[in-house]
C-alpha cells in the first residue's frame, strides 16, 4: 500500500473490532502511528494490538475509556497526544445500538446512545481541534450511518445521534475552513461485521428463513445492492479523506450504502 499517511498520527475510537479496527489497520498500513480505543476481552484487544504492531513496527497505544463519561474522553485524548506526540487525525467511530418503539424506548438507553454515539464525538473533537489548528493540518472523520440521512422505525436514539453527527460535521467544517483542518462524515449502510452477521442469524431463527433471504429480504431490504458494505470499503474512504489530495473535501456526508439513500 502507498504510504500516504507516513508521519501522521491518528486516534480511532471503537477500534478493537469491526469498522474501527479496519480503519486503524488501513491507516497503519499507509504509514500512520495509530492509537486504539475500545472495549472487549483481553485476548481480543491483544490481537488487535498485535495486528497493528505488524503494520507499524511498534506497539500501538491503547485506551479503554468509557466514552459515556466526558472526563474519560478528555483523558483519552490527552493520552493520545502524550503517546503519539500529537493527534493529526481523529476518527469518531465508537457506537452502540438499541431498538424499540419510541413509547417503549428506555430512557437510560436513549441517554447511553446519545452519550456514546454523539456527545463523545463532540468532546473528542473539542479536545483535539486546537492542536490540529495550531499545526495547520488535521482531519476529523465521523462515522455516521445511512441513518444519519434517513430514518427507520424503532431506532429513535440511533437515528437522532447519527443525524446529530452529520450536523456537527458541517459546523466543524465551516469553523475550520481556513485552518488546514477538514471534517467529514462517512455514512455506511449495513456493513459486514460479526455483530451484523449475528442479526442475520437472529432473523433466520425468528422468521424461519434461510440465510440468503434473511439477508436480502429483511436486513438489507433498504439497501438496493442487496449485498454487504465491506469494512475495507469504509476504511478506504476514510483513508482518502485523510490523504494528500483531500484538502478541499470538507463538510460532506459521504454515503457508502449500496444505494440506500439514493431514492
Q: How far is CA 48 from the centre of its chain?
A: 16
Q: In what order do the strands lie in the sheet with 62-63?
A: 62-63, 33-37, 9-12, 89-92, 138-143, 181-188, 253-256
CA-to-CA distance for 137 and 135, rounded, in angstroms? 5
Average pLDDT over residues 66-85: 98
Q: How does DSSP classify residue 225? A: T
Q: What does the pLDDT average to over 148-163?
A: 97
Mean per-residue pLDDT, 143-153: 97
158 is catalytic: yes
- 194 pLDDT band, cuts 50/70/90, is confident
- Band of the pLDDT at 196, cuts 50, 70, 90? confident
How many Cβ atoms sit within 10 Å of the Cβ of residue 38?
Answer: 24
The whole-number pLDDT of residue 133 equals 98
At 47 the pLDDT is: 95
Instruction: Kindly indicate the confidence band of residue 263, based on its pLDDT and cuts at 50, 70 and 90.
Output: confident
Mean of all residue pLDDT scores within the chain: 96
User: Which three cell numbers, joined as nine digits, stand for 97?
Assistant: 445500538
8-state DSSP, 243: S
List the grid coordinates of 45.
Answer: 484487544
Query: Mind giving me the DSSP string for 187-213?
Result: EE-SB--HHHHHHHHHHHHHHT--HHH
pLDDT at 165: 98
Mean pLDDT value of segment 66-89: 98
pLDDT in tens, 17-26: 999 999 999 9
CA 255 distance to own-chain centroid: 13
Q: What per-residue confidence (pLDDT) applies to 195?
A: 79
- Percentage of the chain modeled with pLDDT above 90: 94
Domain map of the chain by residue range? 9-191+230-256, 192-228
9-191+230-256 domain in CATH 3.40.50.12780?
no
- At residue 139, the pLDDT reads 98
Mean of pLDDT values over 40-66? 95
The beta-strand segments (E) located in the chain are 9-12, 33-37, 62-63, 89-92, 138-143, 181-188, 253-256
27, 62, 110, 158: the catalytic one is 158
Closest CA to 234 of 185, 188, 184: 188
Mean pLDDT computed over 55-79: 97
| pLDDT recorded at residue 2 | 86
Question: Looking at the predicted structure, is the pLDDT value of residue 1 above 90?
Answer: no
Amino acid at each position: 500500500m502507498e504510504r500516504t499517511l507516513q508521519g501522521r498520527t491518528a486516534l480511532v475510537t471503537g477500534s478493537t473490532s469491526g469498522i474501527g479496527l479496519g480503519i486503524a489497520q488501513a491507516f497503519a498500513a499507509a504509514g500512520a502511528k495509530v492509537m486504539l480505543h475500545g472495549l472487549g476481552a483481553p485476548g481480543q484487544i491483544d490481537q488487535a494490538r498485535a495486528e497493528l504492531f505488524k503494520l507499524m513496527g511498534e506497539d500501538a497505544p491503547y485506551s479503554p475509556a468509557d466514552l459515556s463519561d466526558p472526563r474519560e474522553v478528555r483523558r483519552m485524548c490527552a493520552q493520545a497526544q502524550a503517546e503519539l506526540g500529537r493527534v493529526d487525525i481523529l476518527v469518531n467511530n465508537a457506537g452502540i445500538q438499541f431498538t424499540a418503539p419510541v413509547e417503549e424506548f428506555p430512557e437510560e438507553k436513549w441517554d447511553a446512545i446519545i452519550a456514546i454515539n454523539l456527545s463523545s464525538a463532540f468532546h473528542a473533537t473539542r479536545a483535539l481541534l486546537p492542536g490540529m489548528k495550531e499545526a495547520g493540518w488535521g482531519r476529523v472523520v465521523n462515522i455516521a450511518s445511512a441513518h444519519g440521512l434517513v430514518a427507520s422505525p424503532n431506532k429513535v436514539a440511533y437515528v437522532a445521534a447519527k443525524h446529530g453527527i452529520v450536523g456537527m460535521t458541517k459546523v466543524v467544517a465551516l469553523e475550520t475552513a481556513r485552518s488546514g483542518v477538514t471534517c467529514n462524515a462517512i455514512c455506511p449502510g449495513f456493513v459486514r461485521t460479526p455483530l451484523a452477521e449475528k442479526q442475520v442469524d437472529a432473523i433466520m431463527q425468528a422468521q424461519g428463513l434461510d440465510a440468503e433471504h434473511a439477508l436480502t429480504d429483511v436486513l438489507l431490504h433498504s439497501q438496493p445492492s442487496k449485498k454487504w458494505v465491506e469494512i475495507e470499503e469504509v476504511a478506504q474512504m476514510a483513508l482518502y479523506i485523510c490523504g494528500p489530495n483531500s484538502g478541499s473535501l470538507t463538510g460532506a456526508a459521504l454515503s457508502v450504502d449500496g444505494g440506500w439513500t439514493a431514492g
